Amino acid sequence: MSGTLVLVRHGQSEWNLKNLFTGWRDVGLTEQGHEEAKTAGAKLAARGLKFDIAYTSALVRAQVTCQHILDAVGQADLQTVRDQALNERDYGDLAGLNKDDARAKWGEEQVHVWRRSYDVPPPGGESLRDTGARVWPYYMHVIQPHVLRGETVLVAAHGNSLRALIMALDGLSGEEVVKVELGTGVPIVYRLNADSTVASKEIIES
């Protein structure tokens, strides 16, 4: 018996638009972000997907995205679990800063290392590896059992928490995963085998 895992990065946030480091700061979606989330739901509805349970982070941009998707598939009241284990990577001292201002303060190369290395955290924040250290156990113990029972599970979260999940699912190295780009509001549909390996993966971009 195989189950289905659907991953969706939240729609464009107000701080995505302003080019700010967001992390754990709780900001809302832009008008475009709301539309991206609704469109993601429409794409999933068009494929006839129905969910048994949904997971999202403790941050409102992911929660609203999750709700838009559930509304679109006709499951507005579906059980939804919110947990900070799925939160975006914590950017520490960079949170709230414009990315160009950060480059001016610390230098282009240093900011690039913080943003795109696997295991170097920004001051006071998390590396992608640190993010994975909270995402992976939560997935293994809480989310994956549903999928392995043949259920269909929605996870609406963030670029880096989902990147960590994709690293595990796709068997990527630290060097490979930092190059993975996730569009806002773009569903990724995994079908898993009973032994938790990936049977298929589809990125629904159109």
* Catalytic residue list: 10, 88
Q: Give the Cα separation of 104 and 127 in Å (integer).
A: 21
Other beta carbons within 10 angstroms of residue 128's beta carbon come to 24
Find out whether 19 and 90 touch, Cβ atoms under 8 Å: no
Report the interhelical angle of 108-116 vs 99-106 (nearest 10°): 120
Residue 110 CB partners (closer than 8 Å, separation 6+)? none
3-class state of residue 114 by DSSP: helix
Strands 187-192 and 53-56: unpaired
Find out whether 31 and 18 touch, Cβ atoms under 8 Å: no
Find out whether 68 and 169 touch, Cβ atoms under 8 Å: no
| CA atoms within a 13 Å half-sphere pointing along the CA-CB vector of 130 | 16
Residues paired with 29 in a beta bridge = 13
Angle, CA of 160, 164 and 170, to the nearest 5°: 130
